[in-house]
Amino acid sequence: MNKSNKKSMTLTSFFLKYGTYVLFIGVVLIMLIVSSKFRTGSNLVNVLLQNSTLGVMAVGMTLVIIAGGMDVSVGAIMSCAACVGAVLIVDHGVNQWVGMLVIMLISLAFGFVNGFSVAYFRMPAFLVTLATQSIGRGLALVISNGQTYRKFSDAIIYIGTNDILGIPVLIWMMLIIMGIGYILLHHTLYGRRVLAVGGNAEAASASGINTRLTIMSTYVILGFICGIAAIMTVGRIGSYWTALGTGIEFDVIAGVVIGGTSLAGGSGKMTGTLVGVLLMGVISNSLNLLGVDAYWQDVAKGIVIFLAVLIDAVRNRYAKAE
């Protein structure tokens, strides 16, 4: 290979590895120049706050995708669990802590069904989670009868509206869960097993790793996190309606893939996921500040998701070439 080809390969490798970070810094620098509103501390807090739920869910999705899976049911899980909690707390006067426990248990149940079906029945992850997405949305409509619920308990509202040391509780929750996810993936035996299973399940099994249990556990963790996200979202907006979480699965997956996690499984970093989520948030915030029409924002979001998948495909092809 001549020097020009080596240089080209080096630049390509650098872009594929650090392109998200460069793009994030570039977008931030441009917005710092063109928009005075972007530079305010309140706007920074708003970006983090608006994407706190997305960031939390991206932690679980990172584990699932690294293990070679996929989950498009996360928005429906969040909606269904929040729906049951809302009905119990608002309509039936159930204790707020019991209501939140029910939210977590329902989310865990969905995660278990997804994980068990994929890992032990070897059903396609996309189709399984597409089915549970439909089930979750349908159950939410049946249980709530399409109603909007308000007047939630103080604990849930506190989570969504108060702050600690001047920083909103929701942002603290995102950072803490991101930190836990980082340690779990990069500094524990479990994290190494997830990476091994996603990289080569047969080799992982031959080395003594229970691949089925590992795969299932990633979906259960994601289900648990969906429960946390449901409580966070209801607390922030102070109400529940059946459209809650609609389409959020695509934002979560896009943030994870933009952050460098391979859709083929076997590689990914929590730090990259955080940057990917923040990049999605900064782009959305920038379009709002620039007065871009909401419909065009949907177009822009679709382009970002398309580019994320394209970059992932190029990254995988380049990795094989090496």
Provide the pLDDT for residue 39.
Answer: 87
pLDDT at residue 18 is higher than 80? no
Q: Which two tokens stand for residue 181?
A: 């996810």
Mean pLDDT for the stretch of residues 13-22 = 77
Cα(217)–Cα(193) distance, integer angstroms: 11
Q: Which two tokens stand for residue 225?
A: 């996190």
**Per DSSP, which regions of 155-240 are E strands?**
163-164, 167-168
Cα(89)–Cα(157) distance, integer angstroms: 13
- Considering Cα of 206, then 209, then 213, then 217, what sign does the dihedral take? negative
- Considering Cα of 41, then 43, then 44, then 46, what sign does the dihedral take? positive
Cα(17)–Cα(260) distance, integer angstroms: 7
| 70-124 pLDDT per residue, tens | 999 999 999 999 999 999 999 899 999 999 999 999 999 999 999 999 999 999 9
For tokens 């983090």, what's the residue? Answer: 48
Alpha-carbon distances of 203 from 124, 196, 199, 207, rounded to whole Å? 21, 8, 9, 6
Lowest mean pLDDT across 17-26, 234-243, 287-296: 17-26
**Contact present, 75 and 89 (Cβ < 8 Å):** no
| 50-76 pLDDT per residue, tens | 999 999 999 999 999 999 999 999 999
pLDDT at residue 1 is higher than 70? no
pTM (2 decimals)?
A: 0.92
Tell me the residue length of the chain.
322
